[in-house]
Amino acid sequence: MNNETVIWTIGGLDPSNGAGISRDLAVFQNLQQRGYSLCTAVTAQNHMGVSCVQPVKADVLNQQFQALLELSSPSVIKISMIADDAQATVIAHWLEKLRQQNPQLFVVYDPVLSASAGGQLSTLSGDAIAALCANCDLLCPNYHEAQALTESQKGGVELIHELNQKLDARAVVLKGGHSGCEAVEDLLWQHNRAGTFSVKASRLAVSKTHGTGCTFAAALSVFVAQNFELEDALYLAKCYVFEALQQAENNVRSAGNGPWHTLGLPGWPKHRQLDFAFSEQAGLPAELAAPFPSIDREKFRFYPVLDSIDWVRWALGQGVKTVQLRLKDASDEQQLRQHIRTAVKLGRRYDAQVFINDYWALAIEEGAYGVHLGQEDLASADLNAIAAAGLRLGLSTHSIVEIERACRVQPSYIALGHIFPTQTKDMPSQPQGLTKLGFYQQWLADRFPTVAIGGISLQRAKPVLAQGVSSIAVVTALTKASKPGEALQQFNGVVNEHFSQ
């Protein structure tokens, strides 16, 4: 996956390439991003320790900013080791200037103060660190760094609270690699969200983990640059590091006990089922005994989502084989039941797959073919009752974390939205675009049928289908078309051509 972005990394040079700016550039390159580096110090170190640190003069750092600005303007800046307060002043000056030019600039600060193998790297004062934290969008310390910054021995969510009391960060990822716990748990806190988001992975038996934190923060910076939400960026960065460590673990067995970073990087992360949870959200429903029943994929290829029984009757009469009844202003319970009953009967008459949006209990009672639910319904709907009644289940998703949440339910299909801007409903998230749609599709690797939704017009149908989805769902492209019958025929033409190739 690659939308052209530029990432700058500001930090020290490690000649062994395990950590620091050369490691960051290797990660950027491995993830196909354009990266540039600004060097704050030349160090002599390897995975066994640091023997010397020579800070770069503040003026030299200043000139590096000037030189790079002639080449590019960054969308993300990753900051790690800053050697002294004079450098911090230069960086603060340039961050202010760059933010004026690009208010969307995102700054990740990994507050590297010493090397994991031992050795002080920075003389940064507490005031300079506090100013940097207030100037960044995401602070990602490990346990040792967070404890040093707060002068506290706490851990987990309590340590994040301590950080927040002392420093003014907008978001924090607390890396759990040094927590000493068996599972490595990273926690994300964001100033505008309640609670925390946590991702856990089992600890791998790689002993020489020099540079793991740099690798993680560099990968996280890439995913932020690619416009993933922070929960997704954390999940993906964790998958990336896990994959890299696992690869190293396998290679170490066959190639001897070298430092892990010499053993290659894995490229864009592939699906990995990590444990994750939101502290303020109801968790996943209890494990379901079996997957939801499957759908007929051939009938699924074009999926109108319709807001009245008249539209459902019309579409099925025109030969459409999958539709959804999405009633959003139904206040009369009797009428609602009647509409659902009619939709179910029509579905049977036309041998079609008719899904009922939201009203899962009525759908069960009326013996519907299937139900479509959103993420917010996952906690309240009785999924076991839907499964026990033999109904199919479709689930909406808008991110990797939502996809992973949906996968655990083993639904009949997964909806990926919204791909383009839509007039049909207010969306809290940004449109995904085609590149991300393709990534989601690869991530899912055909585990479940997929349908793309949101702003899909006739012109966009072909490129959307080219991302590998099983179906396209449309609302206005059909219901607001001047000639819906013609629009339907044209959609059928594009869909049939695509699937006949």
User: Under the rule (CB under 6 A), what is the footprint of ligand 3NM?
Assistant: 305, 396, 398, 415, 417-418, 422, 424-425, 453-456, 474-477
377 is in an annotated binding site: yes
Q: Is 57 annotated as a binding residue?
A: no
Q: Are 223 and 233 in contact (CB under 8 A)?
A: yes
Establish if 357 lies at the interface with ligand LCLJCK34 (CB under 6 A). Answer: yes
Question: Which one of ligand 3NM, ligand LCLJCK34, none is in contact with 43 (Cβ closer than 5 to 8 A by kind)?
Answer: none
At residue 101, the 3 state secondary structure works out as helix
CB 246 within 8 A of CB 208: no
Q: Please state the φ and ψ torsions of residue 473, each to the nearest 5 degrees.
A: -110, 140
Any binding-site annotation on 425? Answer: yes
Q: Tokens 């139900």: give the residue.
A: 371
Q: Which stretch binds ligand LCLJCK34 (CB under 6 A): 21-29, 275-283, 369-377, 489-497?
A: 369-377
Q: Is 353 annotated as a binding residue?
A: no
- Shortest Cβ 262–ligand 3NM spacing (Å): 43
Sign (positive or negative) of CA dihedral 4, 223, 21, 109: positive
**C-beta of 468: minimal distance to ligand 3NM in Å?**
18
Burial degree of 450 (CB within 10 A; 0-12, 13-18, 19+) = buried
163 is in an annotated binding site: no
326 appears as a binding residue in the annotation = yes
| 66 contacts 91 by C-beta, under 8 angstroms | no
Residues between 374 and 413 that touch ligand LCLJCK34 (CB under 6 A): 374, 394, 396
DSSP letters for 375-391: GGGTTTS-HHHHHHTT-
**Residue 307 found at the interface with ligand LCLJCK34 (CB under 6 A):** no
For position 178 contacting ligand LCLJCK34 by CB under 6 A, the verdict is no
- Residue 303 CB, shortest distance to ligand LCLJCK34, in Å, is 6
Note whether 469 binds ligand LCLJCK34 by CB under 6 A: no
**Is 263 among the annotated ligand-binding positions?**
no
Q: Which residue has the tokens 């395990």?
A: 18
- Could you tell me how many residues of this chain bind ligand LCLJCK34 (CB under 6 A)? 17
Q: Is 475 assigned a ligand-binding role in the annotation?
A: yes
Residue 90 binding result from ligand 3NM, ligand LCLJCK34, none, given CB thresholds of 5 to 8 Å by partner type: none
Q: In whole angstroms, what is the distance from residue 477 CA to residue 456 CA?
A: 7
Task: Establish if 425 lies at the interface with ligand LCLJCK34 (CB under 6 A).
Answer: yes
State the virtual CA torsion across 343, 465, 463, 28 in degrees, nearest 10: 120
Determine, following the binding rule CB under 6 A, whether residue 285 of this chain makes contact with ligand LCLJCK34.
no
Smaller CB separation from ligand 3NM, 345 or 462: 462
* Nearest distance, CB of residue 413 and ligand LCLJCK34, angstroms: 8
| Residue 451 interacting partner from ligand LCLJCK34, ligand 3NM, none (CB closer than 5 to 8 Å by kind) | ligand LCLJCK34
Window contacting ligand LCLJCK34 (CB under 6 A); options: 9-17, 108-116, 247-255, 368-376: 368-376
Q: Is 476 annotated as a binding residue?
A: yes
Check binding of 95 to ligand LCLJCK34 (CB under 6 A): no
Helix-helix angle 433-444:458-465, to 10 degrees: 40
Residue 28, helix vs strand vs coil: helix
- Region of 21-29, 65-73, 223-231, 366-374 interacting with ligand LCLJCK34 (CB under 6 A): 366-374
By the rule CB under 6 A, 473 interacts with ligand LCLJCK34: yes
Q: Give least dist CB 26 to ligand LCLJCK34, A.
A: 39
Site for ligand LCLJCK34 in 15-34 (CB under 6 A): none
Q: What are phi and psi of 244, to 5 degrees?
A: -65, -45
357 binds, options ligand LCLJCK34, ligand 3NM, none, Cβ within 5 to 8 A by partner type: ligand LCLJCK34
Count the helices and strands in the chain (H runs, E runs). Answer: 17, 18
Contacts of 428 by beta carbon, 8 Å cutoff, 6+ apart: none
Phi, psi of 67 (to 5 degrees): -65, -40
Determine if residue 469 is labeled as part of a ligand binding site. Answer: no
> Which alpha helices (H) appear in 142-281, and where do they start and end?
143-150, 156-166, 212-225, 230-255
Please give the order of strands across the beta sheet that includes 171-174.
49-55, 34-46, 6-13, 76-79, 106-109, 138-139, 171-174, 183-190, 196-202, 275-278
SS3 173: strand
CB 403 within 8 A of CB 444: yes
CA 295 to CA 449: how far, in whole Å? 8
Q: How far is the CB of 86 from ligand 3NM (least distance, A)?
A: 49
Annotated binding site for Mg(2+): 358, 377
Binding-site ranges for ligand LCLJCK34 (CB under 6 A):
303, 305, 324, 326, 357-358, 372-374, 394, 396, 415, 417, 425, 451, 453, 473
Annotated binding site: 324-328, 357-358, 377, 396, 422-425, 455, 475-476
